[in-house]
Amino acid sequence: MSNQRNAALNDGPVLNNGVQMPWLGLGVFKTREGTEVINAVKNAIDAGYRSIDTAAYYQNETGVGKAIRESGVPREEIFITTKVWNSDQGYHSTLKAFENSRQKLGVEYIDLYLVHWAVPGKYRETWKALIHLYKQGVVRAIGVSNHQITHLKAIIEDSGVIPAVNQVEFHPLLTQQELRQFCQEQGIQMEAWRPLMNGELDDPVLKDLALKYGKTPAQIVLRWDLQKGVITIPKSVRKERIIENSQIFDFQLTDEDMQRIDGLNQDLRLGPDPDRVNF
């Protein structure tokens, strides 16, 4: 029943290596290991989500894996993303970190493995380790997160392998125009983290559009992501919001309304600057 209602939750772009990834996923940053993450993931899968975004850094991979196994939905129907943390970067330590994540998740393969941040002096070797994992067949796609154009150019030049995805901070206050265009030209799929600006959605334009479309400000922003061609992974631990955030496939923003949201851009980061990674 819920699957039929939300059939579009499977839909998504085909990445540059031919693997398809859902437009919408559940983010689980700051979602506690154990009951909290297990419930969030189960509620999401029940609402029709087929993509989960975790990371070694979030310390909840065990719960994510358990929830997926207990959900009753076959493993191969769920798209799992995880990431190598900064302190594990470098060639051999990345291979070890991957094995750790895979064991915690309790899976044979990971759908998308990302370099979490471009750690100076390390990210180029880390990328080579991801290529090795991809060649081994234990990941279906490899990509990066928080990589600026300079970082992308460096790893592409080193390896000749273009990341499938770049997961970056993206929301109405930070529309990443230059980076988005570069990614588009290179065939790198952009993915939005912090899409809901941490839930700070009290904006007159968003509220006005919410009223116009009979949707919530969160749904307006998430729909805007999709129409920008950006994969989105809102986080919530509340069942009603998990459902709300998924109901974005049954309406369309006009070009004019898309531009109104674009106009909110302030190039404002809510998270760390990827050019200053010292953590």
Q: Which is nearer to ligand NAP, 120 or 135 (CB)?
A: 120
- With CB under 6 A as the contact rule, the residue among 197, 209, 226, 253 that binds ligand NAP is 197
* Contact status: 27 vs ligand NAP (CB under 6 A): yes
Residue with tokens 């990066």: 144
Q: How far is the CB of 238 from ligand NAP (least distance, A)?
A: 4
How many residues make contact with ligand NAP (CB under 6 A)? 28
- With CB under 6 A as the contact rule, the residue among 101, 167, 175, 246 that binds ligand NAP is 167
What CA dihedral angle connects 51, 57, 58 and 60, to 10 degrees?
80
- With CB under 6 A as the contact rule, the residue among 104, 234, 248, 261 that binds ligand NAP is 234
Using DSSP, state whether 113 is helix, strand or coil. strand
Angle CA 41–35–144, to nearest 5: 45
Separation of alpha carbons 4 and 7, rounded Å: 5
Neighbours of 114 (CB within 10 A): 27
SS3 letters across 212-252? HHCCCHHHHHHHHHHHHCCEECCECCCHHHHHHHHCCCCCC
The tokens of 172 are what? 């109405």
Q: How far is the CB of 121 from ligand NAP (least distance, A)?
A: 19
Residue 58 appears among annotated catalytic residues: yes
Site track for ligand NAP across 239-258, x = CB under 6 A = --x--xx-------------
Question: Residue numbers of the site for ligand NAP (CB under 6 A)?
Answer: 27-29, 53, 116, 145-146, 167, 193-199, 201, 216, 218, 233-238, 241, 244-245, 271
Residues carrying an active site annotation: 58
